[in-house]
Amino acid sequence: MKNAVRSFLNYLKVERNASPLTMKSYGDDLIHLQEFFEEQHGHIPEPSDVNVSQLRTYVAYLHECGYARATVARRLACLRSFFRFCNREGICETNPAKPLRTPRAGRKLPHFLTTDEVGRLLSTPPANKNDGLRDRAILETMYSAGLRVAELVSLNLSDLDRASGIVRVLGKGRKERVAPIGSFALKALAAWLDVRKPDTTASAAEQDALFLNRFGKRLTTRSIGRMLEKHIKIAGLSIQTSPHTLRHSFATHLLDGGADLRSVQELLGHKSLTTTQIYTHVSTRRLKEAYEAAHPHAQPHTQS
């Protein structure tokens, strides 16, 4: 099993050009499967010895442990892909994961900030400190371009075109897109670039990073999370607020401002329009709340 997993991950890297994040997720999922087998059966079976009944037991175990439906769905996708690879390579005769049914994902509306809340958050980093200028540039860029955290930390100086007001982004599946950034973000970036000091002993890739830590090296996604957590507390925002909240806010505010769904899809880098449509539910809900609060005939008539 372990040899098959190594071969599969190498296949993802070399032939499918999978992102490091995808490889880590799939690697972790397959380690979890092996740990389950070891705990339940006392050993890790060969891929050819795994059957659909065992995998259904594993899926039931995931549900019993309280994993979110999205997590279970991702792990099922990993299993199908892994055993399809094993079947194609002659490691096992069939794909035992093929009959497994993916749980229907819940329709959970994303948490977002109002424009006033975004303004409060963006104003919290101090302008008299280098890390404050950096944090302001990070928050402005994330909100202005609707970036995922992984996309933000992978940005290089060469990806930013200040004259045109755009940034080149490497999204999921290594799909590249061009994202416009507004005047506020450009101003914040200019202030950060004036004080940005890379570690000259680091590799060229590290030195080219747009956003650096205090050691002059590329920031990590975890560092962004810690930074945002600090500023959320200062701004007095909901603890639900995460780095992805700025992306949700970006999409919601665009639709509220009259942007069409296809344009928002392109700006977010969504492969499917269905993924983007969840933001229409957010905007519709807000319109309904505004209607019910303001329209004289919106509330049900009560008998005296």
Using CA atoms, how far apart are residues 39 and 75, in angstroms rounded to an integer? Answer: 18
Q: Tell me if residue 129 is catalytic.
A: no
Q: How many residues does the chain have?
A: 304
Cβ distance 103 to 72 under 8 Å?
yes
**237-244: long-range contacts, CB 8 A cutoff, minimum separation 24:** 237/113, 237/117, 237/120, 237/121, 238/111, 240/111, 241/111, 241/113, 241/121, 242/111, 243/142, 243/149, 244/110, 244/148, 244/149
Q: Tell me if residue 270 is catalytic.
A: yes
Q: At what angle do helices 221-235 and 130-145 cross, to 10 degrees?
A: 100
Catalytic residue among 111, 172, 217, 286: 172
Phi, then psi, of 119 in degrees rounded to 5: -60, -40
Catalytic residue among 69, 168, 244, 286: 244
Q: Helical H runs in 170-212?
A: 183-195, 204-207
Catalytic residue among 26, 58, 143, 279: 279
Q: Tell me if residue 301 is catalytic.
A: no
Catalytic residue among 80, 218, 231, 247: 247
Catalytic residue among 75, 148, 231, 253: 148
Question: Which residue from 7, 1, 98 is spatially nearest to 47, judged by alpha carbons?
Answer: 1
Q: Tell me if residue 187 is catalytic.
A: no
- Give 84-137 as a DSSP string: HHHHHTTSSSS-TTTTPPPPPPP-PPPP---HHHHHHHHT-S-TTSHHHHHHHH
Q: Tell me if residue 134 is catalytic.
A: no
Burial (0-12, 13-18, 19+ Cβ within 10 Å), 264: buried
Tokens of residue 52, six digits? 């659909």
Question: Which residue from 127, 125, 149 is spatially nearest to 195, judged by alpha carbons?
Answer: 127
3-state percent helix, strand, coil for the chain, nearest multiple of 5 = 60, 5, 35
Active-site residue numbers? 148, 172, 244, 247, 270, 279
